[in-house]
Amino acid sequence: MKAALVIVDMQEVLMPVVWQGPELADRIRDLANRARENGVPVIALQQIGGPHFAPDAPGTRLCQSLNLRPEDTVIQKTATDGFYRSDLAAALDGVDTIVLTGVGTDYCVDATARAAVSRGFDVILVEDGHSTTDDPEAGLTAEQVVARHNRILSRAVHPGGTVKVRPAAELFA
């Protein structure tokens, strides 16, 4: 298995509004540190564009508490699917497994997980490594949305790759 840690849209503007944002950032920072110690590349995706992610807006910056390093790869994207018209596929050359974290569970994390398996990657979705906001239209709290996506994505059937859900503490230990 040749893995890469992919961190989706952990941007300053989102940390105060997603469920357990600061705790999530700390958990992902620790996971990234363990990944690096094990020779696993760290790739951070950054949403650019749309009403909330103007390229020069301060909140568009990646969360500083992640402590990204110069050797980490930052890839800008313009769609929920992290692969869509981005450099993600090229950055994953030689990788067969994506360890997936970030926000939002029901948007960019979900779309990137599904796009990854469609491209033949196996995905390890970090069970406690993604978050979102409440979904009042569906009557779900953010915690329920996260649990639902962990369940749905782990049961998805796709001939390209698989999705497994694992807690952060079990990864790169």
pLDDT at 96 over 90: yes
For the chain, list the domains and their CATH numbers. 3-170 (3.40.50.850)
Q: What does pLDDT average to over the chain? A: 95
Average pLDDT over residues 95-124: 97
pLDDT at 51 over 80: no
Place of tokens 């390093």: 69
Average pLDDT over residues 84-107: 97
Instruction: Tell me the per-residue pLDDT of 54-83, one tens digit each, with 9 for 90 and over.
Output: 888 888 999 999 999 999 999 999 999 999
Describe the crossing of helices 110-118 and 142-155 by its angle, rounded to 10 degrees. 10
SS3 sequence of the chain:
CCEEEEEECCECCCCCCCCCHHHHHHHHHHHHHHHHHCCCCEEEEEECCCCCCCCCCHHHCECHHHCCCCCCEEEEECCCCCCCCCCHHHHCCCCCEEEEEEECHHHHHHHHHHHHHHCCCEEEEEEEEEECCCECCCCECHHHHHHHHHHHHHHCCCCCCCEEEECHHHCCC
| Prediction pTM value | 0.96
75, HSE (Cβ side, Cα atoms, 13 Å): 24
pLDDT tier at 12, thresholds 50, 70, 90? very high
Instruction: Tell me the per-residue pLDDT of 16-47, one tens digit each, with 9 for 90 and over.
Output: 999 999 999 999 999 999 999 999 999 999 99
pLDDT for position 28: 98
pLDDT at 49 over 90: no
pLDDT for position 58: 80
